[in-house]
C-alpha cells in the first residue's frame, strides 16, 4: 500500500466514524465520487479556521449582556467616586465568571482560555475596573492555585475563589521591585513549621476586598531568584495590614492598595510548591495573566471604537454626518484594523495555552500590541467625539484613562519587549 492509498483509507475510516464531516468536495480528487456522503471534510476539523463555536458565542453574548445591563448603569458614578463594583463582582461570581477556566471539580466553570478572552473583551468594553477583578482572580489567583497548589490548599482556597464566593489578590510588586521582580525585599524567614513574613507590597489590585492573597517573598537572599517563595496569606493573619488606597488616573473603581506585613506567621502548609519555586510561580502565572490584560486592553479599544462609530453616524458637521468625512473614515478604518489584529493575537495566545503549547511569546505579543492599540485608539476616540469626548458622559475619556494601565501592569510594554526579544534570540 502506497502513502496515497493509506491516506485515503484513513480518511474513509475517519469519515465513517465522524458522520458529521464531509469528504465530498475532495471526492473527485481522491477518485471516490459517490462514495463519500457527509458534509464537511474530516481534515477541516484540524484545519485552521476563524469561527467561534456556539459555546464561545454563548459566553460572549452572556458577557455582553451582563456588561450592558449590570456594568453600564453606574459606571461613570463608580469611576467618579472610586467605588468598587462589589454587587457586580458578586453577580459575576454567581454566573461563573470568576473561575472560568477552573475544573468544575474545584467549583469552576471548566471553560477554555478562548472563552475567557471573549468574556474579558466584552466586560472591558464597558467597565475595566470590574474586568481587572475578573482577570486577576481567573488568571493570577485561580490558575496559579489550580496548577501549583497541593490538594489541601486547593480545597481550602481555590474552591471558594473559583465559585466566586470570594476573590483574591496577587502580591508581587513592591516599592523597589516593579519590573525588576527578582529584587524582592519582602522576607519570609523559615522558622520551622512557619515562615515569618515582613515587608511591603505596592499597587495590589483587590488589596482591601480580597480574602486570599498570593504573596511572593524572599527566603534565601544568597540564592537570588531561586530563594524566592510564594505563600497563600489571608487578611486575618496577625500583622497583616492593608495600607492606603491609591488615588489612580484610571480603573478608579478597582481597589488598589499597599499591604504591610509585620512578623506575620505564615504556616509552612501555605507555601506553594517546593522551597524556592516562588519566582517561577510568579513568572508562569503572569504569562497567562498577560492574556487576560491583553484582552482587557482589546475590550477598552473596541469599546471606544464602537462608541466612536455610533457617534460618527449621528453627529453632523459641515452639513453631513461626520462619518462622511474622510478624516473620520480613516480613523475608523485604522481603529478597526488594529483592533482586529489585537483580537487575533489574543485569541492565538489563548489557543496556544488551550493546546498546552508554549504561549510565552504569544501572550507578551498580545499584551504589548493590544495595550498600545488601546492607548492609541482611545485617544483617537476622544478626538472623534471632539468636545463631547472630553466630558465624562460620553465614556471615551474614561476608556482613555483606563487604557494607560494596560501598558503598565502585569509587565510594562518594555518588559513585554524583553520577553519577546529574548524568546526570538534564544
Site for ligand CAA in 303-362 (CB under 6 A): 360
CA distance 227 to 403: 35
Encoded one letter per residue, x for contact with ligand CAA by CB under 6 A and - for no contact, window 219-238 reads ------x-------------
CB nearer to ligand CAA: pick between 6 and 223: 223
* Per-residue cell: 198: 515582613
> Least distance to ligand CAA from the beta carbon of 6, Å?
41
Member of 233, 264, 286, 403 binding ligand CAA (CB under 6 A) = 286
CB nearer to ligand CAA: pick between 237 and 418: 418
CB nearer to ligand CAA: pick between 40 and 280: 280
> Least distance to ligand CAA from the beta carbon of 205, Å?
3
CB 396 within 8 A of CB 311: no
Task: Answer left, alpha or beta for residue 237, where phi above 0 means left and psi between -120 and 50 means alpha.
Answer: beta
Helix/strand/coil for 358? coil
CB nearer to ligand CAA: pick between 40 and 284: 284
CB nearer to ligand CAA: pick between 138 and 270: 138
Q: Candidates 88-96, 185-193, 278-286, 384-392: pick the segment binding ligand CAA (CB under 6 A).
A: 278-286
> Least distance to ligand CAA from the beta carbon of 281, Å?
9
Collect all residues with Cβ–Cβ distance below 8 Å to 324 and sequence separation of at least 6: none
Burial class from Cβ neighbours inside 10 Å (0-12, 13-18, 19+) for residue 187 reads middle
Site for ligand CAA in 117-156 (CB under 6 A): 136
Member of 284, 315, 348, 417 binding ligand CAA (CB under 6 A) = 284
Nearest Cα to Cα of residue 173 among 200, 141, 213:
200
Point out the catalytic residue in the list 306, 321, 410, 414: 410
> Least distance to ligand CAA from the beta carbon of 134, Å?
11
Number of residues that this document lists for the chain: 426
User: In angstroms, what is the C-alpha Rg of the chain?
Assistant: 24
- 280 touches ligand CAA by CB under 6 A: yes
Member of 109, 287, 370, 371 binding ligand CAA (CB under 6 A) = 287
- 66 touches ligand CAA by CB under 6 A: no
H or E element, residue 86: helix 86-94
Q: Pairing state of beta strands 168-171 and 212-218? A: parallel
Nearest Cα to Cα of residue 233 among 275, 267, 274, 279:
267
CB nearer to ligand CAA: pick between 15 and 296: 296
CB nearer to ligand CAA: pick between 112 and 246: 246
Member of 173, 202, 258, 270 binding ligand CAA (CB under 6 A) = 173
> Least distance to ligand CAA from the beta carbon of 280, Å?
5
- 421 touches ligand CAA by CB under 6 A: no
CA distance 370 to 198: 36
> Least distance to ligand CAA from the beta carbon of 364, Å?
9
The phi, psi pair for 111, rounded to 5°, reads -90, 175
H or E element, residue 148: helix 143-148
Residue 51 is among the residues annotated as catalytic for this protein? no
Q: Candidates 119-127, 303-311, 333-341, 415-423: pick the segment binding ligand CAA (CB under 6 A).
A: 415-423
Q: Residues binding ligand CAA: what is the number (CB under 6 A)?
A: 22
Member of 63, 172, 328, 399 binding ligand CAA (CB under 6 A) = 172
- What torsion do the CA atoms of 186, 190, 194, 195 make, to the nearest 10 degrees? 0
Member of 44, 189, 260, 283 binding ligand CAA (CB under 6 A) = 283
Nearest Cα to Cα of residue 267 among 243, 236, 241:
236
Collect all residues with Cβ–Cβ distance below 8 Å to 214 and sequence separation of at least 6: 140, 141, 144, 145, 168, 169, 170, 171, 230, 231, 232, 233, 272, 285
Nearest Cα to Cα of residue 342 among 390, 378, 394, 395:
378
CA distances from 247 to 127, 168, 255 (A): 18, 21, 10
Site for ligand CAA in 355-384 (CB under 6 A): 360
Q: Which residues are catalytic?
A: 410
Binding residues (CB under 6 A) for ligand CAA: these are: 136, 170, 172-173, 179, 181-182, 205, 225, 279-280, 283-284, 286-287, 360, 409-411, 415, 418-419
Amino acid at each position: 500500500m502506497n502513502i496515497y492509498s493509506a491516506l485515503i483509507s484513513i480518511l474513509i475510516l475517519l469519515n465513517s466514524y465522524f458522520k458529521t464531516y464531509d469528504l465530498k468536495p475532495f471526492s473527485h480528487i481522491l477518485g471516490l465520487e459517490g462514495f463519500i456522503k457527509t458534509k464537511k471534510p474530516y481534515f477541516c476539523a484540524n484545519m485552521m479556521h476563524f469561527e467561534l463555536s456556539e459555546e464561545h458565542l454563548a459566553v460572549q453574548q452572556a458577557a455582553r449582556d451582563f456588561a450592558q445591563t449590570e456594568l453600564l448603569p453606574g459606571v461613570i458614578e463608580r469611576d467618579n467616586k472610586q467605588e468598587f463594583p462589589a454587587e457586580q463582582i458578586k453577580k459575576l461570581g454567581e454566573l461563573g465568571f470568576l473561575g472560568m477556566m477552573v475544573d468544575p471539580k474545584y467549583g469552576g466553570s471548566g471553560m477554555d482560555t478562548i472563552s475567557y478572552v471573549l468574556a474579558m473583551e466584552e466586560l472591558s468594553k464597558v467597565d475595566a475596573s470590574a474586568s481587572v477583578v475578573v482577570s486577576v482572580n481567573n488568571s493570577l489567583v485561580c490558575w496559579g492555585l489550580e496548577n501549583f497548589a497541593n490538594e489541601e490548599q486547593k480545597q481550602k482556597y481555590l474552591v471558594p475563589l473559583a465559585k466566586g464566593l470570594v476573590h483574591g489578590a496577587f502580591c508581587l510588586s513592591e516599592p523597589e521591585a516593579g519590573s525588576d521582580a527578582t529584587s524582592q525585599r519582602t522576607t519570609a524567614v523559615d522558622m520551622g513549621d512557619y515562615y515569618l513574613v515582613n515587608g511591603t507590597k505596592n499597587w495590589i489590585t483587590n488589596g482591601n476586598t480580597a480574602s486570599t492573597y498570593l504573596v511572593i517573598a524572599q527566603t534565601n537572599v544568597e540564592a537570588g531568584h531561586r530563594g524566592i517563595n510564594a505563600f497563600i496569606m489571608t487578611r486575618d493573619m496577625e500583622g497583616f495590614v492593608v495600607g492606603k488606597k491609591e488615588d489612580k488616573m484610571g480603573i478608579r473603581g478597582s481597589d488598589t492598595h499597599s499591604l504591610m506585613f509585620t512578623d506575620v506567621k505564615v504556616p509552612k502548609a501555605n507555601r506553594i510548591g517546593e522551597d524556592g519555586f516562588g519566582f517561577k510561580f510568579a513568572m508562569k502565572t503572569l504569562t497567562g495573566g498577560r492574556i487576560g490584560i491583553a484582552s482587557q486592553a482589546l475590550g477598552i479599544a473596541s469599546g471606544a471604537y464602537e462608541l466612536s462609530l455610533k457617534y460618527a453616524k449621528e453627529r453632523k458637521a459641515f452639513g453631513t454626518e461626520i462619518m462622511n468625512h474622510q478624516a473620520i473614515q480613516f480613523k475608523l478604518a485604522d481603529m478597526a484594523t488594529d483592533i482586529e489584529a489585537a483580537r487575533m493575537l489574543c485569541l492565538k495566545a489563548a489557543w496556544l495555552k488551550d493546546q498546552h503549547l508554549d504561549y510565552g511569546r504569544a501572550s507578551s505579543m498580545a499584551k504589548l500590541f493590544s495595550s498600545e492599540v488601546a492607548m492609541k485608539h482611545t485617544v483617537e476616540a476622544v478626538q472623534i467625539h471632539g468636545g463631547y469626548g472630553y466630558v465624562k458622559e460620553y465614556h471615551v475619556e474614561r476608556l482613555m484613562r483606563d487604557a494607560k494601565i494596560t501598558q503598565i501592569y502585569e509587565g510594562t510594554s518594555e518588559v513585554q519587549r524583553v520577553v519577546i526579544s529574548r524568546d526570538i534570540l534564544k
